[in-house]
Structure 1
Amino acid sequence: MTDTSEKIDYSKTLYLPQTEFPMRAGLPQKEPETVARWQEMDLYRLMRKDAAGRPQFVLHDGPPYANGNIHIGHALNKVLKDVITRSFQMRGYDSNYVPGWDCHGLPIEWKIEEQYRAKGKNKDEVPVNEFRRECRDFAAHWIQVQTEEFQRLGIEGDFKQPYTTMNFHAEARIAGELLKFAMSGQLYRGSKPVMWSVVERTALAEAEVEYHDHESDTVWVKFPVAESTALQDTFVVIWTTTPWTLPGNRAISFSPRIGYGLYEVTAAENDFGPQAGEKLIFADALAEESFAKAKLGYQRLRDIPADELGAITCAHPLKGLGDGYDFAVPLLPGDHVTDDAGTGFVHTAPGHGREDFDAWMDAGAALRARGIDPAIPFTVDDAGYYTKDAPGLGPDREGGPARVIDDKGKKGDANDAVIKALIARDMLFARGRLKHSYPHSWRSKKPIIFRNTPQWFVYMDKDLGDATTLRSRALKAIDDTRFVPAAGQARLRAMIQDRPDWVLSRQRAWGVPICVFADEDGNVLKDEAVNQRILEAFETEGADAWFAEGARERFLAEKANEPWTQVMDILDVWFDSGSSHTFTLEDRPDLKWPADVYLEGSDQHRGWFHSSLLESCGTRGRAPYDTVITHGFTMDEEGRKMSKSLGNTVVPQEIMAKSGADILRLWVMTTDYWEDQRLGQNVIQTNIDAYRKLRNTIRWMLGTLAHDTGEDVAPADMPELERLMLHRLAELDELVRKGYDNFDFKRVTRALLDFMVIELSAFYFDVRKDALYCDAPSSLRRRASLQVVRKLFDSLVTWLAPMLPFTTEEAWLERYPDARSVHLAQFPEVPAAWRDAELAEKWRRIRQVRRVVTGALEIERKEKTIGSSLEAAPVVYVADPELQAAIADRDMAEICIVSGIDIRHEAAPAGAFTLDEVPGVGVVFARAGGQKCARSWRYTDDVGADPAFPDVSARDAAALHELQALGRL
């Protein structure tokens, strides 16, 4: 045959990777195009059609609030949900994701009120339903904005038909759930101290309160003992950080478990307060600290036992102020009293604190027996002003009533007025300032107060007719629920165990009303016909029907002449979202009740998880979910809370615009999301670097598979290295599926990244490049390797699809241009028969030897002794018998990517390269002999053996002959 080598460009005879899948991702430009394509093809509907008839898996969306652009917390939350729903969808389930929005409530009202103020409009002069319409329009606008932002993140769901709490059907269902509580006797009107925002003029739920440092006035106040011969002219001293609550004082609480003593002042250095000879009662553990604060000398006279304390009645320290406070103040035992701080006595104002209220109510019978009126005063109104129940400080005060907090959340003059009155009556023992954690409204960020107001509540401990209570049902439901992480169970349980009755009413305009009629005593009208008229109206007209002119007469009909009052309070928005399981899971035929999963931030133990649990347990006897998953919050890279003032916020829109949504999603997948996470430019860059390696691995597979004919080789006929990769696929298949089942995305991501970068790119692909590029078309080794790369691609890309939907879609369509979407595929079946633990152990040892060889060659590269490992033919000393057995009959030159190798079963000589972690192996560098093959670049002794191709090895010459016969040369 004539020599044709001079005419051949050998690079064109190699099966080099060929792909249009770019190395540079260009995600910020490409991802929006992919979103548009998904919307045009209606991917969501195609997914539903493909999943028809499969078992359902439902993650119910906790609704974000429709009042602004999404933030990083939204991005984290939605990505986690999307990964869960996609992973179940691709594993044989119908995993339908229906996004939702919370639309009612104060934040939106505030926005509309701000617009009114800017225009000089008065909200009170605007018809309520006109105001509500503007709130509805505002929410609708932000739902559309957030929809686009969520879709830009790659979130797939029913964005054309989401659920919203302001939908007419949803409002009717929320009202219906409220009426279930009313009809079952669980709803009642009560007068209790509730958390109240003066700034917002409404009651608040626990979930609407956060704690910040706040500096308060503190006072030690003397209560004169009024009825005790032995303790005549003695004072009981209390300590409080809320002097403004003293007009509401009705008792003093003490603890029978604490030791108390009678003390006498021996010396005084103060300008006001006790003087020498005064006698006062303190908890012994706190006396020294209290006297020091007042700069007093003292001596202890005797013990004051609990039974003596319980018999004491004091006078109010404000007695004589105005026309009030001329009543007895009893001492009551209380479990909440400690001697950790203060005086060991707790000033008890039942209108201003839950524990105070409970202590007062528990003592009701005893109070009446002592001739004490148990009525609770209303000392502070909704604007924070003292009322007539605070004589001398309310409307009868010269200059008008004092105020606790003003409209801007600033301290009013109430504390100063009370302290001034105490000093004037010589009832102030000492005063000071204290910086402490204090409740604030999470919306206005302003301090709140506790005030006694008529509100609507749901009983936590009322027998529901089956020997259960709402509390006991909820606690059992918690025990029956899976929590991820498990600590969430104890957290929610503790909140349910200790929570007071559920206050449902809010004094606002935008929301679902507490649509009941009540008499003057708070008894609710229980009339199914009335209820039916209300619900039918809400279904067609929305909750606006309650506020329309003539609504009372319309709903009461023949009962309109009876003395029923239409309640105009609004439902707590947590009741709205807590009812969402009814108008989504129950009412949509493409969903099911209960949900498989609820997933939100850990703050929702006191929010959505909590209200959903109570609502469902109160109406259905169990939780609306089987599993609760919680995630932490995102901090900056230094672990600080993100805030605009610190300038450390990370905006998801900016990350997507600069790096792409898949980078943001990869960050979510690599975090311990159930803890607080950190995010900043360095963290983003780390994920960009990891993404590039992952993308390049996918790119190499696509390029290699350009030459794939689809031919299969039986696993039993494959070389060991291919069977090893199939074994690893089988192992990973189990890990990936269990990881997705356990919502442990970091484990899945870490395993796949390590496999792709360490085991594939740096090992398997590296070893097999020569065979894949250079072997003849008929080569079993090449055909088996192509088949394995095909299996690897299909598995890895589908496994990654829930996490990186854009990149995997791009790769899938590059590989399968006629496919509709990778997101319509299923995880491929990976036969368990591919597992071969014995083979894996053998290759673990082979790779140990390889590590030493590659380590030795890397030194030669750095010293520029060689440019390529193919220039080497090292001598490898293997003294370990197990390693000797593992590499026996192996082509270690191929495995180590060298042109030749000399294996010697003996100890390495001095100076050989070794690794401490691989004892018994040493390497001495040697150059490869023979000639360099012009096609494969290997150095061999058979270059020129075939005269037709005198500058290539025999292996490459044979391959060229095959190509020539196929007409490809």
Structure 2
Amino acid sequence: MLRAWRAPLAAGAGAGAGARLRRGAASEAGGRQPLAEGGYRDSVLLPRSRFAAQLPGRLQPDTELETQQKSGFSELYAWQRRRKAKQEFCLHDGPPYANGDPHVGHALNKILKDITNRFYMMRGYKVHYVPGWDCHGLPIELKALSEVKGAENLSPMEIRQKARKFAERAMEKQKSAFIRWGIMADWENCYRTFDPKYEANQLRVFHKMYDKGFIYQDYKPVFWSPSAKTALAEAELEYNEQHVSRSAYIKFPLLKTPPKLTSVIDGSSPASVLVWTTQPWTVPANQAVCYMPDSAYSIVKCTTTGEYFILAADRVESTAAVLDTQFEVISTCKGADLADGSCAHPTIPGRVSPLLPANHVTMAKGTGLVHTAPAHGMEDYSVASHHQLPTECLVDESGYFTEAAGPELQKKNVLEEGNEAVIKMLQAAGSLLKEEKYVHSYPYDWRTKKPMIIRASKQWFVNTASVKAAAQEVLKKVKIVPTSAVNRMLEMLDRRTFWCISRQRCWGVPIPVFYQKNTGESLINSIFLFASVDGSSPASVLVWTTQPWTVPANQAVCYMPDSA
């Protein structure tokens, strides 16, 4: 056996040595001899297998199933669980969405986990791996409704029923594929997030977090998807690097000159502050103009019109070039010198926009002065909260201006004809200096692939600021691959102070809150919550009526808030 194995090795080595000698002779002769095609083939030892390198698509499922059956993969998980082992390796399965057919992403996820599990099994561990599915959420609802004609006419209960059936079908398809691939798992006891016990546990955790002050309701700007009509978290966004916005340079006429600038701006010529925005549709919601206190600002005179403008000193030349004019610098001051000044709103007569300090103002683009609409910006909202400015939202759930925006804008889509209408209003008021297309990175809904907006609305939030320090310390103890991801996660935790958890959709675990019909005041307590979610035995509320015939028309059950 030894000689039989060594013989081809020696032959291969001899052939390789001969080839080297021949090449050496050729080099000495002053030329190179081309190696015959396949010349290295006989000198390299490779394993030989009867497995086909590639299978036609129609044969692949049957071959996979045959391999799985012959290898006993379906019995492998139960077999290794019966072994006597001193240590257990538990891999928690981050679940896939039950929203479609299995694809290469599923394969990558499951096969990498299977390699890990089998590695530990071969080392003598008892492996614990229970797969599951995320059965709720917008991806499933959208997919389910895409199969239904007239989906907009369905009731919430009908939407839930269709979404559940769709999720069940998707899970069966994915599960059969995972089993066919030979994934070692406890396929008889998979978890599904719409199981009653799973939902009950979710709601119990919700109530514990609420009791500890980690969950609260607030009216503030959030990422909003007009195409899906719901609030989204930052993780549900993707960024389109080629999005085209209609940017605008706008002047806000000074109503009250900052006291420290009265010697420079005497009122003999019109004076304005210059702002730049990529979202002109937000201008009707403007409540202020912000500046950076520590930066330098210039008062310039336009050589074309004679008007005075205020803008960042670093942005004078670039802004003049964009506006195709020349600015004569009259004076330069600190941003703090703009304090106590105010401007006239460019489209709403009688509204005053104060000049306010803010640390989020940058000098990288624009004019160094930021138009501030608290209902449509996170930093804008912070400024408004500090200075007690209104945060009125003039945009509805579908992304259209409401009646409060005025007859010129009402029922217009803010990203389309609404934007155009605001630009025309700025032109008519003489406030628009220039409008141009601007290509930049912009957030999109990663499911509908449509642009997002930032819109103030009443939502439920997790107060991540209160657990930030503890989360960062725990995260440092977790082994993360690749290690470069650690800093990114720590940075994300540091800057994120809240997480929006409510969604305006039908298919999901409900937030267990009752609302007072007239005032909208929320009510949440453990009595209502645990009576409704405890799956161990049926739970009901008891009512008494002298008119049973009215029961078919029932719409609600009422209680006395102050009674025991």
Structure-1-length-normalised TM-score: 0.48
Give the equivalent residue in structure 2 for 1:55. 87
Structure 2 counterpart of 1:497, one-letter code: D
- Aligned residue among 332, 351, 359 for 1:327: 351
Give the equivalent residue in structure 2 for 1:562. 561
Aligned mates of 2:334, 2:73 — CA distance in 1: 81
Name the SS for the 2:272 alignment partner.
Answer: strand
Give the equivalent residue in structure 1 for 2:27. none
Contact 2:145 2:159 in 1 (8 A): no
Aligned mates of 1:171, 1:221 — CA distance in 2: 51
Aligned mates of 2:112, 2:183 — CA distance in 1: 10
Structure 2 counterpart of 1:363, one-letter code: H
Contact 1:227 1:314 in 2 (8 A): yes
Residue 26 of structure 1: how far off its partner (Å): 4.1
Cα displacement string for residues 602-646 of structure 1 (whole angstroms, at most 9, x for unaligned residues): xxxxxxxxxxxxxxxxxxxxxxxxxxxxxxxxxxxxxxxxxxxxx
Give the equivalent residue in structure 2 for 1:513. 510
Aligned mates of 1:186, 1:41 — CA distance in 2: 43
- Aligned residue among 266, 278, 293 for 2:307: 278
Alignment CA distance shift 1:261-1:153 (3 Å): same
Contact 1:183 1:526 in 2 (8 A): no
Cα displacement string for residues 726-756 of structure 1 (whole angstroms, at most 9, x for unaligned residues): xxxxxxxxxxxxxxxxxxxxxxxxxxxxxxx
Residue 347 of structure 1: how far off its partner (Å): 0.8
Structure 1 counterpart of 2:285, one-letter code: G
Aligned mates of 1:539, 1:303 — CA distance in 2: 75
Cα displacement string for residues 232-280 of structure 1 (whole angstroms, at most 9, x for unaligned residues): 431011100000011111111110121101111112xxxxxxxx11111
Give the equivalent residue in structure 2 for 1:243. 280
Contact 1:171 1:538 in 2 (8 A): no
Aligned mates of 2:279, 2:323 — CA distance in 1: 19
Residue 540 of structure 1: how far off its partner (Å): 7.0
**Corresponding position: 1:82 with 2:114:** yes
Alignment CA distance shift 1:380-1:539 (3 Å): farther
- Aligned residue among 322, 325, 329 for 1:300: 329
**Corresponding position: 1:443 with 2:440:** no
Contact 1:252 1:330 in 2 (8 A): yes
Matches within 5 A, 1:105-144: 105-117=137-149, 121-126=150-155, 128-144=156-172
Alignment CA distance shift 1:356-1:563 (3 Å): farther
Give the equivalent residue in structure 1 for 2:28. none
Give the equivalent residue in structure 1 for 2:290. 253
Contact 1:168 1:538 in 2 (8 A): no
Give the equivalent residue in structure 1 for 2:78. 45
Alignment CA distance shift 1:295-1:149 (3 Å): same
Give the equivalent residue in structure 2 for 1:404. 414
Contact 2:139 2:447 in 1 (8 A): yes
Aligned pair count? 494
- Aligned residue among 211, 217, 220 for 2:239: 211
Structure 1 counterpart of 2:50, one-letter code: R
Residue 88 of structure 1: how far off its partner (Å): 1.0
Matches within 5 A, 1:759-770: none
**Corresponding position: 1:35 with 2:78:** no
Aligned mates of 2:299, 2:412 — CA distance in 1: 35
Aligned mates of 1:207, 1:460 — CA distance in 2: 15
Give the equivalent residue in structure 2 for 1:607. none
Residue 362 of structure 1: how far off its partner (Å): 2.3
Aligned mates of 1:41, 1:481 — CA distance in 2: 32
Alignment CA distance shift 1:315-1:44 (3 Å): same
Q: Quick check: which one's strand share is greater?
A: 2
Residue 480 of structure 1: how far off its partner (Å): 2.2
Aligned mates of 2:85, 2:4 — CA distance in 1: 48
RMSD, matched Cα = 2.8
Give the equivalent residue in structure 2 for 1:432. 436
Residue 147 of structure 1: how far off its partner (Å): 1.3
Alignment CA distance shift 1:132-1:54 (3 Å): farther
Give the equivalent residue in structure 1 for 2:197. 169
Give the equivalent residue in structure 2 for 1:104. 136
Name the SS for the 2:486 alignment partner.
Answer: helix
Cα displacement string for residues 201-241 of structure 1 (whole angstroms, at most 9, x for unaligned residues): 11111111000120000001111111127244310111000
Alignment CA distance shift 1:352-1:14 (3 Å): closer
- Aligned residue among 100, 104, 127 for 1:68: 100
Aligned mates of 1:57, 1:14 — CA distance in 2: 44
Contact 2:276 2:369 in 1 (8 A): yes
Residue 532 of structure 1: how far off its partner (Å): 1.4
Structure 2 counterpart of 1:340, one-letter code: A
Alignment CA distance shift 1:64-1:338 (3 Å): same
Name the SS for the 1:257 alignment partner.
Answer: coil
Structure 1 counterpart of 2:534, one-letter code: E
Aligned mates of 2:299, 2:512 — CA distance in 1: 56
Cα displacement string for residues 763-809 of structure 1 (whole angstroms, at most 9, x for unaligned residues): xxxxxxxxxxxxxxxxxxxxxxxxxxxxxxxxxxxxxxxxxxxxxxx
Give the equivalent residue in structure 1 for 2:375. 351
Give the equivalent residue in structure 1 for 2:223. 195
Give the equivalent residue in structure 2 for 1:532. 530
Give the equivalent residue in structure 1 for 2:19. none
Contact 2:294 2:336 in 1 (8 A): no
Aligned mates of 2:163, 2:72 — CA distance in 1: 29
Residue 420 of structure 1: how far off its partner (Å): 0.4
Residue 74 of structure 1: how far off its partner (Å): 2.0
Structure 1 counterpart of 2:380, one-letter code: D
Aligned mates of 1:201, 1:336 — CA distance in 2: 29
Contact 1:172 1:539 in 2 (8 A): no
Contact 1:316 1:328 in 2 (8 A): yes
**Stretch of structure 1 that moved more, 228-237 or 87-96:** 228-237
Cα displacement string for residues 855-881 of structure 1 (whole angstroms, at most 9, x for unaligned residues): xxxxxxxxxxxxxxxxxxxxxxxxxxx
Aligned mates of 1:30, 1:459 — CA distance in 2: 52
Aligned mates of 1:14, 1:361 — CA distance in 2: 85
Q: Quick check: which one's helix share is greater?
A: 1
Aligned mates of 2:90, 2:554 — CA distance in 1: 42
Alignment CA distance shift 1:209-1:90 (3 Å): same
Give the equivalent residue in structure 1 for 2:126. 94
Structure 2 counterpart of 1:23, one-letter code: S
Structure 1 counterpart of 2:51, one-letter code: A
Structure 2 counterpart of 1:402, one-letter code: K
Aligned mates of 1:390, 1:351 — CA distance in 2: 13
Alignment CA distance shift 1:175-1:154 (3 Å): same
Residue 518 of structure 1: how far off its partner (Å): 4.2
Aligned mates of 1:15, 1:377 — CA distance in 2: 84
Alignment CA distance shift 1:96-1:552 (3 Å): farther
Alignment CA distance shift 1:426-1:538 (3 Å): farther
Cα displacement string for residues 646-673 of structure 1 (whole angstroms, at most 9, x for unaligned residues): xxxxxxxxxxxxxxxxxxxxxxxxxxxx
Contact 2:87 2:126 in 1 (8 A): yes
Aligned mates of 1:352, 1:141 — CA distance in 2: 40
Alignment CA distance shift 1:106-1:41 (3 Å): closer
Aligned mates of 2:459, 2:536 — CA distance in 1: 23
Contact 1:182 1:524 in 2 (8 A): no
Aligned mates of 1:200, 1:377 — CA distance in 2: 22
Residue 294 of structure 1: how far off its partner (Å): 1.5
Name the SS for the 2:248 alignment partner.
Answer: strand
Alignment CA distance shift 1:41-1:284 (3 Å): closer
Contact 2:301 2:307 in 1 (8 A): yes
Residue 489 of structure 1: how far off its partner (Å): 1.1
Aligned mates of 2:494, 2:271 — CA distance in 1: 40
Give the equivalent residue in structure 2 for 1:360. 384
Residue 521 of structure 1: how far off its partner (Å): 7.0
Contact 2:462 2:498 in 1 (8 A): yes
Structure 1 counterpart of 2:506, one-letter code: A
Aligned mates of 1:141, 1:470 — CA distance in 2: 38
Alignment CA distance shift 1:89-1:448 (3 Å): same
Aligned mates of 1:308, 1:40 — CA distance in 2: 75
Residue 170 of structure 1: how far off its partner (Å): 1.2
Aligned mates of 2:175, 2:461 — CA distance in 1: 35
Structure 2 counterpart of 1:536, one-letter code: D
Aligned mates of 1:532, 1:393 — CA distance in 2: 50
Cα displacement string for residues 132-173 of structure 1 (whole angstroms, at most 9, x for unaligned residues): 122111111111111122223321101221111112211111
Give the equivalent residue in structure 2 for 1:499. 496
